[in-house]
């Protein structure tokens, strides 16, 4: 479900999310309201770190919003900054902070051979969840990660996604609860009705999705 949060007019209003553990944050996506106040986010800073001092605003700064978001989602590259807290603050007197939606993102490649259900529980126990890829931008981020040198080469031809086919309705959905509005199936290999129920991502080549 979309989320909206706003503050009163005050000095340096802030908003923070607790990730419950230290994570390497790759990107932060922020969406502002489309129906009101498109310039309210100008000057907002994004901070990531482990300190709650000054409401987390002394942590490393990931980015600054310099323009009107106008209801669009903007992605800030955080270069795998480590931290437990993501904080958004607008410095200055008599400010008003409105956030429609914020998402922090970190991708970790687990070098273990696990079946889909074991991988799901492993990721939920040790990280957050199996990977969801909800847009072309997120697909490109994963491709850049797997095609670069920041992670060891995967030991399997496919990596599990948090993608599952409903056995009753014969539709695909993300385990986070998001609808599958974007897909990257290889054209000739798009799953047909009654296909395998688990989704995976090729660890090389075109990084296409496959049912497994």
The string of DSSP codes covering 19-74 is EEEEEEEEEEEEE--SSS-TTTTTT-EEEEES--GGGGTTSEEEEE--S--TT-EE
Minimal CA–CA distance to 183: which of 196, 195, 171? 171
The CA–CA distances, whole Å, from 78 to 22, 47, 65, 117, 193 equal 14, 9, 14, 30, 40
Minimal CA–CA distance to 180: which of 164, 194, 200? 164
Residues 137/169/118/85 CA torsion (nearest 10 deg): 40
pLDDT in tens, the chain (212 residues): 344 454 455 677 778 888 777 887 888 877 666 656 656 677 788 899 999 888 888 999 988 887 766 666 777 888 878 888 888 888 877 665 665 455 556 667 777 788 888 888 888 887 778 888 888 888 888 888 787 766 667 778 898 999 998 877 778 888 887 778 889 988 776 677 667 889 999 888 889 998 88
| Consecutive H or E run containing 116 | helix 116-126
Contacts 24+ apart (CB under 8 A), 189-192: 191/165
| Fold match flag (5-105 vs 116-211) | no
What pLDDT score was predicted for residue 208? Answer: 92
What pLDDT score was predicted for residue 1? Answer: 36
The CA–CA distances, whole Å, from 170 to 86, 164, 195, 210 equal 37, 10, 9, 16
What pLDDT score was predicted for residue 180? Answer: 85
The pTM for the full model equals: 0.56
**Is the Cβ–Cβ distance between 170 and 194 less than 8 Å?**
yes
**Is the Cβ–Cβ distance between 128 and 120 less than 8 Å?**
no
The CATH architecture one would assign to domain 5-105 is Sandwich (2.60)
**Is the Cβ–Cβ distance between 149 and 162 less than 8 Å?**
no
Instruction: Specify the CATH class of 116-211 in words.
Output: alpha beta
Domain limits of the chain?
Answer: 5-105, 116-211
């Amino acid at each position: 479900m979309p989320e909206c949060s706003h503050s009163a007019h005050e000095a340096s209003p802030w908003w923070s999310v607790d990730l419950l553990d230290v994570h390497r944050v790759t990107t932060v996506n922020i969406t502002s309201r489309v129906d009101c106040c498109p310039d309210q986010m100008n000057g907002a800073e994004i901070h990531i770190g482990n300190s709650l001092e000054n409401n987390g605003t002394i942590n490393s700064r990931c980015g600054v919003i310099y323009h009107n978001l106008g209801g669009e989602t903007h992605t800030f590259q955080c270069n795998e900054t480590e931290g437990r807290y993501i904080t958004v603050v607008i410095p200055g007197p008599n400010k008003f902070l409105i956030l429609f939606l914020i998402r922090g993102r970190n991708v970790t490649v687990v070098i273990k051979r696990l079946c889909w259900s074991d991988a799901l529980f492993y990721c939920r126990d040790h990280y957050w969840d199996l990977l969801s890829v909800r847009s072309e931008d997120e697909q490109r981020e994963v491709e850049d990660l797997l095609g670069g040198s920041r992670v060891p080469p995967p030991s399997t031809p496919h990596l599990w996604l948090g993608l599952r086919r409903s056995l009753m309705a014969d539709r695909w959905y993300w385990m986070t609860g998001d609808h599958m509005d974007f897909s990257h199936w290889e054209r000739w290999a798009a799953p047909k009705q009654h296909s395998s129920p688990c989704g995976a991502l090729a660890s090389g080549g075109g990084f296409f999705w496959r049912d497994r």
